[in-house]
Amino acid sequence: MPEQKTELPELEAGETTPDAPVVEPLNDPAAAAEGGEVPRIAAEPVSRAEYDQLKAERDGLLDRLARLQAEFENARKRAERERIEYRDYATGSVVQQFLPVVDNFELALKSNGTAHQLRHGVELIVKQMQEILRQLQVVPVPTVGEAFDPRMHEALGTVERDDLPDQHVAEEVRGGYKLRERLLRPALVRVAHNSKQTSE
């Protein structure tokens, strides 16, 4: 008895027969490495309770992140405000000490005294200013007779001097100042050139 062949209908791409089982492809790294498509894995269904729990955890984390960002921004603004207040307080403290000096200068300008009296008054004001600077721990940079130090002195030139060692400060053109050990302004000086010493 001859075998009867059952012909199957031709299927379009992606079409399945009604009784054919749908098989999800396995996650095969070797197939992906060979250039094929990465197979998909069917996700396991999540219960409503698990979904609600995960959603609540996510919402809690987002709320906590928002609170932390707000706290950080508030702390940054507070630190900036305190920095400005401290700077203004420090500036006001220094200015307050110099106000009497300004008052004395104004009195000197209004006076009708002689040139000698005016000079004496200005000398007193300068001493007053130097005392305020000393209280602020601002000290002058040593100059005349000191060895030239490029970290503290700025040379405007040299002068021939036989009474000073070579490369020592001969003249101070403008004073320099330090705040404790920090240089605020170098002193402008002229440096001695002792030809007798250099020729020996």
- Residue 21: inside a domain, yes or no? no
Residue 41 located in a structural domain: no
Which CATH number goes with the domain that contains 193?
Answer: 2.30.22.10
123 and 142, same domain (yes or no)? no
Domain that holds residue 181: 138-200
Task: Specify the pLDDT at position 30.
Answer: 52
Nearest to 143 by CA among 187, 94, 90: 187
Q: What is the pLDDT of residue 21?
A: 47
Predicted local confidence at residue 18, as pLDDT: 47
Q: Residue 4: its pLDDT value, please?
A: 53
Does 76 map to a domain?
yes
pLDDT of residue 3: 52
Q: Note whether 192 and 166 are within 8 A (CB).
A: yes
pLDDT value, residue 19:
47
pLDDT tens for the chain, 200 residues long, are: 455 555 545 545 444 444 444 445 455 555 555 555 555 655 677 788 888 899 999 999 999 999 999 999 999 999 999 999 999 998 898 899 999 999 999 998 888 888 888 999 999 999 999 999 999 999 999 999 999 999 999 999 999 998 999 999 999 999 999 999 999 999 999 999 988 876 65
Q: What is the pTM of this model?
A: 0.56
Which residues lie below 8 Å from residue 155, measured CB to CB, with a gap of 6+? 148, 189, 190, 191
Are 131 and 142 found together in one domain? no
Task: Give the 3-state secondary structure of 74-129.
Answer: HHHHHHHHHHHHHHHHHHHHHHHHHHHHHHHHHHHHHCCCCHHHHHHHHHHHHHHH
CB-facing half-sphere around the CA of 90: CA atoms within 13 A: 7
> Does residue 63 lie within any of the structural domains?
yes
CATH of the domain at 58: 3.90.20.20
Query: Is 174 part of any domain?
Result: yes
My answer on whether 121 and 157 are in the same domain is: no
> Is 10 part of any domain?
no
What total number of domains does the chain contain?
2
